[in-house]
């Protein structure tokens, strides 16, 4: 039997009159101010660090390659965070600059910018809304029991020790399908898919022609897998622990969902630096207009004014991931998350 953490007392959504705008009023105005020097300096630093990582991969002996893969893949996650700011229009004041930088920095990751932007905004609008949020949505027991065997197997996989492939599945299944969009949004998604398809059609054959299949694996695939490890880990940890509440639309409240359903996890400082403090995630859910370099300032304010609604901070570790991947499988309104062992009659 899996040992479960006793849920702490988190304010429920029912009966609350807290609104997001009430929280926003307490944040310092500096949190929302764009600083172009910080933005572009962060971008240039990130480019240099990624270049350093690739240079290391090129010259390192085989036994040091894993270290450079980890470094380069983590730095490429910083590329994604820069594009993430662009998607929320918090990188630059001009929309075309955000779109251009966002597309360029997602190219090495083969990520269509506009499809990610639109789907990610859906997550922000419906954070921890049961059956609607599109980021690490938990299965209810009855949904899991009525799913086909392949879906059950896949869910067990990405909710267990293979959580780090979850973002790969999300990327492949959701971000290249423009049929789920309409009108202007569909055209934008088609553009983004075309951009990454053209890039891959040129870059991958050129890489293989000059460095061979091993070069493709060494220079692109392995750093890309490290990037997805962090993508899966960040997004899972941001909203998942055994007592984090999800609510149906009927009693969902945006303010408490963002405050109590978004978690702060501390990572080693070098990871936070390379990934532009994306782990400081609660203020980002209060307002996507806060640039990444202002997240720590905003979080300090939230701790000062809204501490009773914030979930306890966690420390990234294997024990944390073990706890999440052991406990957080199926969800019900009464008990929050439970492991498979806590339910009888679930298909195995």
For residue 346, the model assigns a pLDDT of: 55
pLDDT one-digit tens code per residue, 81-116: 999 999 999 999 999 999 999 999 999 999 999 999
Alpha-carbon gap, residue 15 to 255, rounded angstroms: 12
| CB-based contacts of 62, cutoff 8 Å, min separation 6 | none
Which backbone phi and psi does 27 adopt, to 5 degrees? -80, 140
What secondary structure, in 3-state letters, does 112-169 show? CHHHHHHHHHHHHHCCCECCCCCCCCCECHHHHHCCCHHHHHHHHHHHCCCHHHHHHH
For residue 7, the model assigns a pLDDT of: 37
For residue 6, the model assigns a pLDDT of: 34
Alpha-carbon gap, residue 42 to 38, rounded angstroms: 6
Neighbours of 164 (CB within 10 A): 18
Whether 196 has a pLDDT exceeding 50, the answer reads: yes
How many residues make up the chain in this entry? 348
For residue 113, the model assigns a pLDDT of: 98
Q: Is residue 110 part of a domain?
A: yes
Cβ(295)–Cβ(279) below 8 Å: no
For residue 200, the model assigns a pLDDT of: 98
Q: Is residue 313 part of a domain?
A: yes
For residue 300, the model assigns a pLDDT of: 97
Query: Over the chain, what is the mean pLDDT?
Result: 91
The percent helix, strand, coil of the chain (3-state, each to 5) is 65, 5, 30
Q: What is the mean pLDDT of residues 119-137?
A: 89
Q: Is residue 285 part of a domain?
A: yes
Q: What percent of the chain has pLDDT over 70?
A: 94
Whether 1 has a pLDDT exceeding 60, the answer reads: no
Query: pLDDT band for position 120 (50/70/90)?
Result: very high
pLDDT one-digit tens code per residue, 16-30: 678 899 999 999 999
Whether 3 has a pLDDT exceeding 70, the answer reads: no
Q: Is residue 91 part of a domain?
A: yes
Cβ(193)–Cβ(115) below 8 Å: yes
Domain encompassing residue 144: 35-342
Q: Is residue 275 part of a domain?
A: yes
For residue 224, the model assigns a pLDDT of: 98
Cβ(115)–Cβ(192) below 8 Å: yes
HSE-CB of 4 using CA atoms within 13 angstroms: 19
Q: What is the mean pLDDT of residues 36-58?
A: 98
Query: pLDDT band for position 270 (50/70/90)?
Result: very high
Q: What is the mean pLDDT of residues 163-173?
A: 93
Query: pLDDT band for position 343 (50/70/90)?
Result: low
Q: Is residue 4 part of a domain?
A: no
Q: Is residue 3 part of a domain?
A: no
pLDDT one-digit tens code per residue, 279-334: 999 999 999 999 999 999 999 999 999 999 998 899 999 999 999 999 888 888 77
Residue 124 CB burial class (10 angstroms; 0-12, 13-18, ≥19) = middle
Q: Is residue 14 part of a domain?
A: no
Return contacts of 206-214, CB within 8 angstroms, 24+ apart: none
Whether 5 has a pLDDT exceeding 80, the answer reads: no
Cα distance between the two ends of the chain:
16
Cβ(258)–Cβ(343) below 8 Å: no
Cβ(244)–Cβ(13) below 8 Å: no
| CB-based contacts of 77, cutoff 8 Å, min separation 6 | 226, 227, 230, 231, 234, 274, 275, 278
For residue 134, the model assigns a pLDDT of: 86
Query: pLDDT band for position 8 (50/70/90)?
Result: very low
Domain count, the chain: 1
For residue 16, the model assigns a pLDDT of: 61
Alpha-carbon gap, residue 292 to 233, rounded angstroms: 18
- Only one residue has tokens 């991947």, namely 325
């Amino acid at each position: 039997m899996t040992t479960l953490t006793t849920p702490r007392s988190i304010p429920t959504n029912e009966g609350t009159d807290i609104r997001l705008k009430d929280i926003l009023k307490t944040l310092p105005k500096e949190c929302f101010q764009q600083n172009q020097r910080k933005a572009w300096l962060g971008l240039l630093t990130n480019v240099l660090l990624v270049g350093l990582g690739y240079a290391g991969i090129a010259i390192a002996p085989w036994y040091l390659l894993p270290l450079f893969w980890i470094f380069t893949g983590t730095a490429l996650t910083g590329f994604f965070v820069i594009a993430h700011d662009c998607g929320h229009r918090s990188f630059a004041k001009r929309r075309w600059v955000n779109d251009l930088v966002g597309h360029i920095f997602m190219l090495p990751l083969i990520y269509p910018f506009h499809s990610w932007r639109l789907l990610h905004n859906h997550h922000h609008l419906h954070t921890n809304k049961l059956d609607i949020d599109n980021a690490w949505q938990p299965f209810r027991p009855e949904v899991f029991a009525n799913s086909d065997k392949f879906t059950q197997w896949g869910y067990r996989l990405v909710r267990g020790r293979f959580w780090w492939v979850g973002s790969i599945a999300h990327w492949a299944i959701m971000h290249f399908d423009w049929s789920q969009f309409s009108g202007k949004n569909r055209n934008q998604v088609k553009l983004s898919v075309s951009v990454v398809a053209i890039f891959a059609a040129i870059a991958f054959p050129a890489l293989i022609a000059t460095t061979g299949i091993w070069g493709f694996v060494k220079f692109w695939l392995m750093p890309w897998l490290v990037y997805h490890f962090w993508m899966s880990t960040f997004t899972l940890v941001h909203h998942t622990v055994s007592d984090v509440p999800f609510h149906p639309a009927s009693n969902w409240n945006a303010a408490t969902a963002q405050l109590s359903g978004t978690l702060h996890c501390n990572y080693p400082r070098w990871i936070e630096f390379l990934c532009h403090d994306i782990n400081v995630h609660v203020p980002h859910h209060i307002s996507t207009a806060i640039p990444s370099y202002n997240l720590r300032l905003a979080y300090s304010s939230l701790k000062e004014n809204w501490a009773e609604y914030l979930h306890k901070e966690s420390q990234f570790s294997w024990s944390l991931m073990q706890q999440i991947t052991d406990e957080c499988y199926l969800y019900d309104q009464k008990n929050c998350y439970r492991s498979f062992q806590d339910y009888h009659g679930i298909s195995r």
